[in-house]
A and B are shown apart, each in its own frame.
Chain A
Amino acid sequence: AQRVTQPEKLLSVFKGAPVELKCNYSYSGSPELFWYVQYSRQRLQLLLRHISRESIKGFTADLNKGETSFHLKKPFAQEEDSAMYYCALKGSYIPTFGRGTSLIVHP
């Protein structure tokens, strides 16, 4: 079975502070991992995927197979980063999403 755990429902930081949204997964094979973002009352959209190893809007995420984690990080949070963030795993043929972490960045 595949599972994605996002331990924090809410993360609140001040502008300019570092941010780390945690994601841990459980999957017996080689997973494909993603972060999706949902801004207020908008549709979910892909933020980044581990295979591309890119930085989007200042966010990065590294797959750590030893710790089975895929944490999302940004060194300096901005107010416009306030959103709901979902970690997702595509192991078999269907994706599994975590419950999401709501990030609030205060001015």
Chain B
Amino acid sequence: DAGVIQSPRHEVTEMGQEVTLRCKPISGHNSLFWYRQTMMRGLELLIYFNNNVPIDDSGMPEDRFSAKMPNASFSTLKIQPSEPRDSAVYFCASSFPGYNEQFFGPGTRLTVL
């Protein structure tokens, strides 16, 4: 298994543009997490899915952020419109339910100019 796959690995965009980040979890995992990593705030949980259903989205910063998981093998995190303060590394992670270890993807480094 290739592990958790994220795309793109790097994204540079201009303020106001829509950004879509993609994640493919490890096959068989049915818990999926989106995190944002910055120097100032460290690793922040944005949203958690279980069996494709959003369970906790309290970490989503504002309405500009949305996440979907249409099936067990794919999730997206969308920012519309993007702002420079959204610049960060966004990680996706997956795990088995009740199994405590999370497996992280390589991250998407987002730069909003």
- Write out, one digit per residue, whether chain B residues 34-64 have a CB within 8 A of any chain A CB (1) or not (0): 0100000111010010100001100000000
Interface 9-residue window, one of A14-22, A37-45, A65-73:
A37-45
Residue pair A97, B42 in contact (C-beta under 8 Å): yes
B interface, size bucket: 20 to 34
Residue pair A46, B107 in contact (C-beta under 8 Å): no
Chain A, 56-107, CB within 8 A of any chain B CB: 86, 90, 93-100
Count A-B contacts at CB 8 Å.
Answer: 48
A interface, size bucket: 10 to 19
Q: CB-CB < 8 A to B45: which residues of A?
A: 94-97
Smallest CB-CB separation from B95: which chain A residue?
A95
Q: CB-CB < 8 A to B104: which residues of A?
A: 43-45
- Write out, one digit per residue, whether chain B residues 74-113 have a CB within 8 A of any chain A CB (1) or not (0): 0000000000000000010100000011101111000000
Known: A43-B106, A93-B55. A98 touches B101 (CB 8 A): no
Residue pair A49, B42 in contact (C-beta under 8 Å): no
Q: CB-CB < 8 A to B48: which residues of A?
A: 93-94
Q: CB-CB < 8 A to A94: which residues of B?
A: 33, 45, 48, 55-56
Smallest CB-CB separation from A51: which chain B residue?
B100
* Cα A104 to Cα B56 with chains together (Å): 35
A34 in contact (CB, < 8 A): yes
Residue pair A95, B102 in contact (C-beta under 8 Å): yes
* Cα A34 to Cα B104 with chains together (Å): 14
Known: A99-B42, A99-B43. A90 touches B100 (CB 8 A): yes
Residue pair B106, A42 in contact (C-beta under 8 Å): yes
- Write out, one digit per residue, whether chain B residues 4-37 have a CB within 8 A of any chain A CB (1) or not (0): 1000000000000000000000000000010100
Chain A, 21-43, CB within 8 A of any chain B CB: 32, 34, 42-43
Task: List 8 interface pairs A-B (beta carbons < 8 Å), by A numbering.
Answer: A34-B100, A42-B106, A43-B4, A43-B105, A46-B101, A94-B48, A96-B45, A97-B43
Please report B residues at the A interface, Cβ cutoff 8 Å. 3-4, 33, 35, 41-43, 45, 48, 50, 55-56, 91, 93, 100-102, 104-107
Known: A43-B3, A44-B102. 9 other contacts (CB 8 A): A43-B4, A44-B104, A46-B102, A86-B42, A86-B43, A94-B48, A97-B42, A97-B45, A99-B43
